[in-house]
Structure 1
Amino acid sequence: MGEFSGYDAMSLIDQYYQKINTSFQQIIEKEANKIRILAEKAYEAIRSDGLIYAFGTGHSHILVEEIFYRAGGIAPVYPVLVSSLMLHEKAVLSSKLERIDGIGEAIVSELPISSRDIVIVFSNSGSNSVVVTFAENAKKTGAYVAAVTSVEHSKNVTARNELGKKLYEVADLTIDNHVPYGDACLKMNDVTVGPLSTICGAFIINSVVVEIVRFFEKDGMTPPVFLSANVPQGDEVNALLLEKYRKHIPIL
């Protein structure tokens, strides 16, 4: 087993857990009401035959996939997955592309977003052009736009977009992920490790989904929730949801 330059491996794991727990506590204390607001608006959108559009670049695209077509997730989610802005083709190129003005607007122009929909944009830094201009142009369709971002990080960086704004300044609703500047949280000699944005973002967006389902249950309605395909009746339940939503979400 490798050495940790004087650090005890288990104590580092404990420290990382404590950092995660601290962010979770801040989310619960400061963002719970906004999570419920977003969930209610999403519920109303779904009831009106709207969709939840989800978009993120780089590692934030993971959060888009987190709520798309998964066990325990809701069906009416339209994932905006632009491969050149993800990491599996050219990681460094994706970072360059997300800073170019015009791309966010172009992506929105190719989507059937309308005023009955909800748009959720994930970006830890919230400063690059693609996510900011995507959010701004999604708002022009009349859709309600929410952001999941690190306000602390955003306030410590320069806006890299033609609007001169950060994502939290553009969105109708901002849910702060309470991740520190730089994302990583454990200082080890000359490096910092232990990123938080994906963990915290997943907690936030799945909390939104849980609340959406609560609204369905409260009104005595069956929520459009996928089952695992590997449990009894999973394929049958999912087939009905796929039949309903595939015409609206081509990637299903």
Structure 2
Amino acid sequence: MTLDPAPALDYLERAEAIVRRVRETQIDAIVKAAQICADSIAAGGLVHLFGTGHSRIPVEEMFPRHGSFPGFHPIVELSLTYHNPVVGANGQRQAMFLEKVEGFGQVILRNFVFGPHDSFMIFSNSGVNQVVIDVALEARARGMPVIAVVSVAHCLASSPRHSSGRRLIDCADVTIDICSPAGDALVTVEGLAYPVGPGSTIGFAAVVNALKCLVAAELTKRGQPPLVLTSGVLIGNAASAELFERTYDDYRARVAQVYGGRRNQDQASC
């Protein structure tokens, strides 16, 4: 029996529509966010990245991977993201519980030292769980510009959970809409009660890489071209390996002070 490809084609069409909406509606927001990122990186600061659950995906899409460069600092809390076993130790239930524990965000950020040129980018499809609001409010309190990357439709359809009554879009200096629908899943299958095929990953990837390209162009224009992780297929294995080492060394130097240095501010205030 030959499978009917219609559900797969439906998903691809809806995924294309998400990318098209990002292109048609979010370029101004991406430009504003890229300006913040480029200003931070050019001044020797960092763009800190945070996401819980599956919003870890765009954090790692930003850095490190091929076509990426230092200046972005991933903050991925394993207790909120390492739920591969699904059940048992480090399971999905625990992660989903912890992302709703108010005050946990401040505990996470207490482990880092932030500098005067730093900024913060927070990824969340829903934009309402307590930990992401904690992180956004704490970043703002420390004087960092906050960029929210979120499904605005899903966020507005969700009730605020944080005691402040705020959603992520209420805490951000710039909001980029990933243009995935409320509920996330895109495809309705005949005879199946619930839709399948989430779209947020498509929106996140489109936004992250468009933003990354724009930041790279702006840094290069300012005379600070970034070291980019580049495949050996493009430049040869030896050159690629050497570039990886230099890129990782550059990243290490940029983030070294985050883990205990003063970074030009009073450490006692952290």
**SS of the counterpart of 1:61?**
helix
**SS of the counterpart of 2:255?**
coil
Q: Which amino acid counterpart does residue 56 of structure 2 have in structure 1?
A: H
Residue equivalent to 1:238:
244
**Mapped partners of 2:198, 2:10: distance in 1:** 12
Does 1:213 pair with 2:216? yes
**1:51–1:76 CA contact under 8 A, matched in 2:** yes
**1:70–1:228 CA contact under 8 A, matched in 2:** no
**Mapped partners of 2:151, 2:77: distance in 1:** 22
**2:227–2:243 CA contact under 8 A, matched in 1:** no
What stretches of structure 1 of length at least 5 have no aligned partner? none
Q: Which amino acid counterpart does residue 181 of structure 2 have in structure 1?
A: P
Q: Which runs of structure 2 are paired with 1:1-252 in the superposition (5 Å)?
A: 8=4, 10-86=5-81, 87-88=83-84, 89-188=90-189, 189-228=192-231, 231-232=236-237, 233-249=239-255
**Mapped partners of 2:58, 2:217: distance in 1:** 21
**Mapped partners of 1:103, 1:21: distance in 2:** 36
**Mapped partners of 1:16, 1:154: distance in 2:** 22
Q: Deviation digits for residues 116-135 of structure 1, max 9, x if unmatched?
A: 11211000000100001111
- Quote how far apart the aligned CAs of 1:216 are: 2.4
Q: Which amino acid counterpart does residue 157 of structure 2 have in structure 1?
A: N
Q: Which amino acid counterpart does residue 241 of structure 1 have in structure 2?
A: T
**2:70–2:226 CA contact under 8 A, matched in 1:** no
TM-score with structure 1 setting the length = 0.92
TM-score with structure 2 setting the length = 0.86
**1:45–1:117 CA contact under 8 A, matched in 2:** yes
Q: Which amino acid counterpart does residue 209 of structure 2 have in structure 1?
A: N
- Quote how far apart the aligned CAs of 1:247 are: 3.6
**1:114–1:142 CA contact under 8 A, matched in 2:** no
Question: Residues 142 and 114 from structure 1, CA distance in 2 versus in 1: closer, same or farther, beyond 3 angstroms?
Answer: farther
Residue equivalent to 2:265:
none
**2:121–2:148 CA contact under 8 A, matched in 1:** yes
**SS of the counterpart of 1:115?**
coil
- Quote how far apart the aligned CAs of 1:60 are: 0.4
**SS of the counterpart of 2:149?**
strand
Q: Which amino acid counterpart does residue 163 of structure 2 have in structure 1?
A: E
**Mapped partners of 2:113, 2:176: distance in 1:** 25
Q: Which moved more, 1:81-90 or 1:229-238?
A: 229-238
Q: Which amino acid counterpart does residue 35 of structure 2 have in structure 1?
A: E
- Quote how far apart the aligned CAs of 1:141 are: 1.2
**2:44–2:254 CA contact under 8 A, matched in 1:** no
Question: Residues 2 and 55 from structure 1, CA distance in 2 versus in 1: closer, same or farther, beyond 3 angstroms?
Answer: farther
Q: Report the aligned-residue RMSD.
A: 1.8
**SS of the counterpart of 2:13?**
helix
Q: Which amino acid counterpart does residue 100 of structure 2 have in structure 1?
A: R
**Mapped partners of 1:80, 1:221: distance in 2:** 24
What stretches of structure 2 of length at least 5 have no aligned partner? 85-89, 259-270
**2:63–2:73 CA contact under 8 A, matched in 1:** yes
Q: Deviation digits for residues 39-77 of structure 1, max 9, x if unmatched?
A: 122111111001111100000011111122211001122
**2:53–2:80 CA contact under 8 A, matched in 1:** yes
- Quote how far apart the aligned CAs of 1:229 are: 6.1
